[in-house]
Amino acid sequence: MVIETNLILGYPDTLSVAAGERIRFHLSTEVGAVDARIVRLRCADADASGPGLRYRGVASAIDGRHDCPDQRLRAGSCAIVDDGGGLAPRGAFSVGCFAWPTRPTAAPQTLMSRWCGASGIGWSLEITRDGGLRLTVGDGARRVTIEAGAALETRAWYWFSASLDLEGGRAAIHQIRLADHYRPDAEVTAAGDLAGLDGIDSGGPLVIAGRAAELAPLWFEGHFDGRIEAPRMLARWAGAGELSALAVPDRSAVADPDLLAFWDFADGIDTLRVTDRSPWRHDGRLHQMPTRAVTGRRWSGRYHDWRLAPQEYAAIHFHTDDLADCGWDPVLTLDVPADWRSGLYALRLQPADRAVAPGEEPVAESFVMFFVTPAKGRAMAPLVVVAAAATYVAYANSALRLYHVHFERLTEAVLQLTMDDKYLLEHPELAQSTYDSHVDGSGRAYSSWRRPILNMRPRANPFNLVTDTHFLDWLEEKGIDYDMITDIELDREGVRALAPYRAAVTLSHPEYYSEAMMQALLSWQNQGGRHLCLGANGFYWRCGFHPQAPHVLEVRRGISGTRTWESAPGEVHLAGTGEPGSLWRHSGFAPQKLVGAGFAAMVYDRPGWFLRMPDGRDPRAAFIVEGIAEGERIGDFGVRIGGAVGIEIDRYDLDLGTPRHALLVATSEGLGPGSLPSPEEFRTTVHGLDGEQNALVRADMVFFETAGGGAVFTTGSISYVLSLSCNGYDNNVSRLTENVLRRFLDPEPFAMPA
């Protein structure tokens, strides 16, 4: 039977909450009422070949039936200027901007407007694919539209403007495709008659890259795909030449007395504000996070860091499918009891009229995941599991399977879509992941957790969180007590988040790490912490949560690396923090420096296993391989994948920073032609780069001690944790993991070799 997983959707206000603190759930459904339960999860992987979906109910104050509204989800970014009537001049006025349309459509997309759709009052400067620029003016009774009648090119810079004179009963519009590297300017103008129109003050805000559909509640439509630069407004009739020639007013100069606004997007690139450089200061705010730190029409190529030449980055890239915050009303609020065990929890939701008893197969069931961290200052266990929350957000609503041409060839099988995939395909307004592209083809630089995330739930496509729970399942099976935090705590609290613990485990794929997260782990390891790193392709992308939108992760994909889109030239630096995005390897902090091994290859065909290496005989490594013979295949089994070496794998490399004293305890064997290196691993193409012929395509188990009595052990493979439960948890991957963990929990300091 198919379980309906998307009848009720929701998201928490925070992904992790400390015991004793509050979390709010923003929910929406068409069914009217929901049955809510809190559960603590042990395994979120429903695959019948593994432990299966395992959770238990935890009695809470919000258990039971609740009315739940059906809340709207509207994607599309814009800038909103609440002008208080200051941008509704009585006489003639002109508006204009530079723009770079990326997906003009038959339906109009709005550049600038001061319009109310409900009343039909105001003006709206728009484009359409085939007609080019058009101006719509309405007084509620009558509407006039003037169109340039010249089709638009995609990804070309234009000047667009309009002048309106209600008293004179006239309007004119100007569309100029700007000269590029082989063509001169191309101008089209059109004029229209506004006679009889009376009163076009919408009463609402001026909006850039959208128009108000209604003013109360305020919401927007007619969004724009593309870049807008230097929008301005002048309180007189002005031609395109005069209006486009206006520049950011100098501090020492007297501004044009008719200048009502000049929004300079080069100002505050790391903010969610837009600055009006006119004396009137009609500053605005960004809605749904369009992308900043993108090149404008004046980008010279001399600078690749927007902080060095902000005027070359004076554009904002708006998208019709941007989504940073659904903005749903909270429906349930949970005060997490201070005595709850730390761990992975979920709000389990069923339609109230179809809720089933525990143990029965549900008809419809949804989960909203969250992590309960220990009460502040009250770490409960010597072991902490660090969930890769930043990575879960980076992959949130990944639509790789749905929109990538190469995906079926990559998996070498007809694509199997789940009901979640179908829902995501049919509801693009949920917004996809940082692996996906916007509808206009530009890469998604932002991903937010304030929206329903379909692939961060039990029964989701098994990757990241679902895979990671195999280790929680193993800990529960072994009766090993643990606390749980996320890497967001590392980002916000630094090493303080790790300080109470003797040992920490990072899971199958902690790929996205901010600078604060990297430094927290490094510092803690050097202070004596023991880091058991059970995955691969970790600590790979340099990324950041946006300082002014802490629920939004920003990623830029440049230079090299395995990536499904590539940042445009000059756009590798993050807008939020200014730091260079791309791989940590390109910032001189390859994963090998932190954990001894770093990304080597992807495994598309058969998995492999580990074999002990000569370093495994070193007395320093004896505790790791105790009970495992030389020549014994470690992990030639595993749930779903079939082997402990699979999916993505990491290797030891002294040049990239593996510590000199690190031991190569074991390495992989058995990989085939479907194991292929990541692009940053080779400098030219050559035959034989695959795992059958290339010795650098491998997974390495690495161990090293740190000066402060700490230690690091890395397994170098994403599929490693999928082997833990095989044969009733009695296997050599389980044994080796327990060997390391027991020693890591022993207070006896590790000694770094001389």
Partner 1 sequence: MDHTSDPTAARWPVDPDRLDLVQEFRHRIRGPHSPDLQKLIARLRWGPIAGRYVVLTLETGRRWMLARQRAERGEKLELFENHVFTSLEDAEWEVFKRRWEEATGRRLKEDGTAW
Binding mask of the shown chain, residues 263 to 302, with x at each position contacting partner 1 by CB under 8 A? ----------------------------------------
Nearer to partner 1, 410 or 752 (CB): 410
Nearer to partner 1, 418 or 548 (CB): 418
Shortest separation between residue 68's beta carbon and partner 1, angstroms: 24
Provide the residue type at 291 as one letter.
T
Which position among 104, 284, 290, 428 is part of the footprint of partner 1 (CB under 8 A)? 428
Shortest separation between residue 418's beta carbon and partner 1, angstroms: 5
Shortest separation between residue 225's beta carbon and partner 1, angstroms: 12
> Coil, helix or strand for 700?
strand
Nearer to partner 1, 48 or 245 (CB): 48
Subset of 537-556 contacting partner 1 (CB under 8 A): none
- H or E element, residue 371: strand 366-373
736: left (phi over 0), alpha (psi -120 to 50) or beta: alpha
User: Taking the chain, what is the end-to-end CA distance rounded to the nearest angstrom?
Assistant: 62
Integer Cα distance of 280 and 261 in angstroms: 7
Which position among 1, 253, 254, 357 is part of the footprint of partner 1 (CB under 8 A)? 1
Q: At what angle do helices 732-745 and 465-478 cross, to 10 degrees?
A: 70
Binding mask of the shown chain, residues 307 to 336, with x at each position contacting partner 1 by CB under 8 A? --------------x---------------
Shortest separation between residue 234's beta carbon and partner 1, angstroms: 38
Integer Cα distance of 85 and 83 in angstroms: 5
Shortest separation between residue 322's beta carbon and partner 1, angstroms: 14
CB under 8 A: which stretch of 40-48, 214-222, 612-620, 682-690 binds partner 1? 40-48
Nearer to partner 1, 247 or 425 (CB): 425
Binding mask of the shown chain, residues 553 to 592, with x at each position contacting partner 1 by CB under 8 A? -------------x--------------------------
Shortest separation between residue 566's beta carbon and partner 1, angstroms: 7
| DSSP symbol at 470 | H
Subset of 388-427 contacting partner 1 (CB under 8 A): 402-406, 408-409, 412-419, 422, 425-427
| DSSP symbol at 437 | B
Integer Cα distance of 407 and 423 in angstroms: 19
Range list of β-strands (E), 21-72: 22-29, 33-43, 54-58, 64-67
Compute how many residues bind partner 1; rule: CB under 8 A. 29
CA distances from 384 to 387, 398, 482, 749 (A): 9, 28, 5, 18
Q: Which residues contact 247 (CB under 8 A, 6 or more apart)?
A: none
Shortest separation between residue 550's beta carbon and partner 1, angstroms: 29
Nearer to partner 1, 428 or 657 (CB): 428
Nearer to partner 1, 298 or 427 (CB): 427
CA distances from 394 to 65, 316, 386, 543, 630 (A): 33, 22, 16, 10, 40
Nearer to partner 1, 462 or 616 (CB): 462
CB under 8 A: which stretch of 42-50, 200-208, 224-232, 739-747 binds partner 1? 42-50
Q: Considering the rule CB under 8 A, would residue 155 count as an interface residue with partner 1?
A: no
Shortest separation between residue 76's beta carbon and partner 1, angstroms: 13
Angle, alpha carbons 469-650-409 (nearest 5°): 80
Integer Cα distance of 303 and 153 in angstroms: 27
Shortest separation between residue 403's beta carbon and partner 1, angstroms: 6
Listed residue (303, 82, 334) closest to 208, CA to CA: 82
User: In this structure, what is the dihedral angle of CA atoms 153, 316, 223, 137, given to the nearest 10 degrees?
Assistant: -80
Q: Considering the rule CB under 8 A, would residue 106 count as an interface residue with partner 1?
A: no
Q: Considering the rule CB under 8 A, would residue 2 count as an interface residue with partner 1?
A: yes
Listed residue (366, 364, 331, 328) closest to 347, CA to CA: 366
Q: Which residues bind partner 1 (CB under 8 A)?
A: 1-2, 46-48, 321, 402-406, 408-409, 412-419, 422, 425-429, 439, 566
